[in-house]
Amino acid sequence: MSEYISDEEQMNRFKEWWSEYGSSLLIAVGISVAAIVGWNVYSDQRQKTIEAGTAVYAEYVDASEAAEKQALAQRIKTEFSGSSFAVLVAFAEAKEAADAGDLTAAASALQQAHEAAPDALLADMASLRLAKIQYALGEADAALQSLQSIRNEGYQAWALELTGDIYLAEGNTEQAYAAYTSALENLGGQTRPLLEIKRDNAAPADGQFSVFAQPLEQALNDARKTLAADEASDSTSDD
């Protein structure tokens, strides 16, 4: 008897195996090929979209006439909605509106930026800027809510500091102190002298928190003057 299976028997066994597993193998191979092709098509399309968006955004930045700039802005919002380009346009429009004193329009633009943001980083940046505008509009609760939505570590300290500013201006010194303290804890080893001054000014005296009668801006100006005086004193001592 031969030690080897005859060619005919090998073929019969292969036919049996193929009959049982061949369809599944073809499906698996087909799915793998489709996935590879689909990813390549997606990557190519995404690259083309980025290049096209970059070109249009460059035109927007370089545009000198208001009508042209507005048309390009609308094109970016329509053709590249949900992209960083749409967010950057919304940021620019918010700044322009704020500079013109139209805070309502600025808030609307920043809300659009938040909704269009393709990632959490840009969304948090929009929330931080929106909170400042909302507070300037007298919407303290809305501003605090926008700040509470910020989760990115890079913006946590800024969000908490602004939270403290709002609480302090509203007369909630205890909550301001807690926010400033948390902001300092979120600096990740960095130092921010002005924030330390804010925290110290809001700290309780003999276990009691005082309500600041002076406006927030005045308190900040006083803090900056104190910081400048300390730096000048240090400089004189070194000499």
Q: Of 120, 151, 182, which marks where a domain is finished?
A: 151
Instruction: Tell whether 145 and 74 lie within a shared domain.
Output: yes
100: tokens are 């013109």
Higher pLDDT among residues 199 and 3, named by residue: 199
DSSP-derived secondary structure letter, 63: -
What is the residue range of 198's domain? 155-229
What total number of domains does the chain contain?
Answer: 2
- Exposed/middle/buried for residue 209 (C-beta within 10 Å: 0-12, 13-18, 19+): middle
Distance CA 227, CA 239 (A): 19
Interhelix angle 153-169/216-238, rounded to 10 degrees, is: 120
Residues in the chain: 239
Q: How high is the pLDDT of residue 213? A: 47
- Single-letter amino acid, residue 118: P
| pLDDT confidence bin for 218, thresholds 50/70/90 | low
Instruction: Tell whether 169 and 220 lie within a shared domain.
Output: yes
Instruction: Tell whether 173 and 190 lie within a shared domain.
Output: yes
- Single-letter amino acid, residue 57: Y
| 138 Rama class: left (phi>0) / alpha (psi -120 to 50) / beta | left
DSSP-derived secondary structure letter, 151: -
Tokens 């605090």 correspond to: 144
Q: Of 97, 122, 151, which marks where a domain is finished?
A: 151
190: tokens are 């960095």
Q: What is the pLDDT of residues 87-101, one digit of tens each?
A: 889 999 999 999 999
Q: How high is the pLDDT of residue 72? A: 87
Instruction: Tell whether 144 and 164 lie within a shared domain.
Output: no
Q: How high is the pLDDT of residue 126? A: 93
175: tokens are 């909550």
| pTM for this model (two decimals) | 0.67
Q: Of 131, 151, 171, which marks where a domain is finished?
A: 151
Is the residue at 61 inside a domain?
no
Instruction: Tell whether 160 and 144 lie within a shared domain.
Output: no
